[in-house]
Amino acid sequence: MITQEFQAIVFAAGRGSRLPEVLGDTPKCLLTVGPYPLLWYPLNLLQQHGFQEAIVIVLENEKSEIQLAMERTPPKLKLDFVCIPSDSDFGTADSLRYIQDKIKVDFLILSCDLITNANLFPLINIFRQHDAALAILLFRGGFEPDVTLPGPKSKHKPERDLIGVNPDTKRLLFLAAASDFEETVNINAHLLRKYDKMTVHSRLVDGHVYVMKKWTIEFLKKKEHFSTLKGEFLPYIVKKQMAKSGKPNMIPTTISDTQSDLGLSRKAEDSIFSLIPHANLNQQVLKTTLYNDNKSKPLYNGDLLRCYALEAAKNSLGLRVNTTLNYFAINQKLSSVWPLLCANQDLALISPSAVVNSTQTKEISAADNAKLSEKTSLHFSVFGPNCHIKPKNVINKSLIMANAVVEEGCNVENCIIGPKAIVKTGAKLKNCLIGANYIVEENSTLNTKHLIHADGFMEIDIQ
């Protein structure tokens, strides 16, 4: 079974530094998307793929709140909440190193901010087929470009990766952030000679879905200077594919199949190649197989270390909810993509504990204990937990977040109303971003503004 072969690990200790306008004092992984917390979506994906349990990495001071919130959601995976120190500045690689004793087999990593309906089995299968050290899942760009983020106009510059993949074998040959280069990207000529061809993608999105060998944790343990996976450790592994295994004593130790099954320890070496298991049976298979991933060179070009990248199916949804724009976009589009995310599951966009008395609604979502009063017109909007929409309001294409209140007689169009914010009676808001705890005064008429509690009224004009 897949749950015996792989452990699932979900990173949920992010601090949401790129979501300050909507975060308030909520843990990032508990930001609501429709009726459920953000963390629910990767967990539900795992459940759909047959996983029965998962490790969830959280900050120590947020564990109780996150654990309580997830107990109220449908997925019934057995969740092991593993804490990292709240005052730490851990990157993702640091977090893996910190929980290394929990990892017993090869593992699948997901980020808590990933919302996707992608089939993970092709990624897992290419990892199995080629005995890879790493396999990553890529997505085409999201649907956020046609969404207008409330607040002052600003030019959105998405982060881009440069991802080099052999189109025939799917070998991942190059991985870097586009921001690491100014105008010219230098590619090692040896790479092209060795692998014949490579397509460099700049419009694909790294979904932060990684399948990795258990031995990579052993290497990470030795190399404490790696702090992040995406920016440091994974590019290092990808680059190491081209390296030679070195001196004879650096070549992976040959061990019997019984020993490899039992996972008996071997002499530790500093080289990454010394950690790659190389059982007798595997050696014989590689010597006798008729399979080859190229026509004129040895199998796998003789590489002991192999990385792969697979693009999700073109009709798949894949979005990282790691910016305010992406957060607003997924909530705006949720009604249309809900059947994709919850295929074969009887899950509604309206929480059973939400009170919806309005008779004029179209494509809305309401989280736990949301109160939507009568005599309201509510269209294409999302209502967070414990929010209260009082009578005689018109709300369209907006996101009303947790514990926010919209008093009577307001008109709200394409806005984000932040956590615990209050919109007083008679206010008319269009394209506004209202920060956490902010109070919009009675009868205000505001257009394209960003208001935050700390500094009162703030207008931003970004050229």
Query: Which run of H or of E encompasses 220?
Result: helix 215-222
Give me the pLDDT at residue 288, please.
Answer: 58
Residue 245 pLDDT greater than 70, yes or no? no
Q: How far is CA 141 from CA 93, 152, 214, 234, 342, in A?
A: 26, 24, 31, 21, 21
- Check the CA dihedral 399-402-10-336 and report its sign: negative
Residues 407-442 pLDDT 10s:
999 999 999 999 999 999 999 999 999 999 999 999
Strands 36-37 and 32-33, sheet pairing: antiparallel
Give the angle subtended at the CA of 25 by the CAs of 437 and 425, to the nearest 5°: 20
Which tokens in the block code for residue 279?
Answer: 């059982």
Residues 17-44 pLDDT 10s:
888 888 888 899 999 999 999 999 999 9
Query: Which run of H or of E encompasses 218?
Result: helix 215-222
In the chain, the amino acid numbered 381 is: S
Give me the pLDDT at residue 184, please.
Answer: 83
Whether the model clears a pTM of 0.85, i.e. scores above it, the answer is yes
pLDDT band per the 50, 70, 90 thresholds, residue 261: very low
Residues 64-82 pLDDT 10s:
999 999 998 886 899 999 9
Task: Could you list the beta-strand ranges (E) of 118-203.
Answer: 134-140, 161-165, 172-177, 199-201
Give me the pLDDT at residue 4, please.
Answer: 76
Residue 268 pLDDT greater than 50, yes or no? no
With a pLDDT cut of 70, the percent of the chain lying above it is 85
Query: Which run of H or of E encompasses 411?
Result: strand 411-413
Question: What is the rounded distance in angstroms from the CA atom of residue 454 to the CA atom of residue 416?
Answer: 17
Query: Which run of H or of E encompasses 211?
Result: strand 204-212
Which tokens in the block code for residue 164?
Answer: 């080099």
Residues 210-226 pLDDT 10s:
999 999 999 999 999 99
- Inter-residue contact 72 to 368 (CB < 8 Å): yes
pLDDT band per the 50, 70, 90 thresholds, residue 277: confident
DSSP string, 89-107: ---HHHHHHHTGGG--S-E
Residues 100-113 pLDDT 10s:
999 999 999 999 99
- Which residue segments constitute the domains of the chain, with CATH numbers given? 7-245+287-329 (3.90.550.10), 348-451 (2.160.10.10)
Give me the pLDDT at residue 144, please.
Answer: 62
Question: What is the rounded distance in angstroms from the CA atom of residue 374 to the CA atom of residue 360?
Answer: 9
Q: What is the mean pLDDT of residues 122-139?
A: 95
Give me the pLDDT at residue 180, please.
Answer: 83
All residues at 6 or more sequence positions from 296 whose CB lies less than 8 Å from its CB, including other chains: none
- Inter-residue contact 95 to 102 (CB < 8 Å): no
**Mapping DSSP to helix (H, G, I), strand (E, B) and coil, where does residue 439 land?**
strand
pLDDT band per the 50, 70, 90 thresholds, residue 460: very low
Question: What is the rounded distance in angstroms from the CA atom of residue 390 to the CA atom of residue 80?
Answer: 40
Q: Average model confidence (pLDDT) for the chain?
A: 86
- Tell me which of 160 and 258 has the higher pLDDT: 160
- Tell me which of 269 and 185 has the higher pLDDT: 185
pLDDT band per the 50, 70, 90 thresholds, residue 270: low
- Inter-residue contact 306 to 135 (CB < 8 Å): no
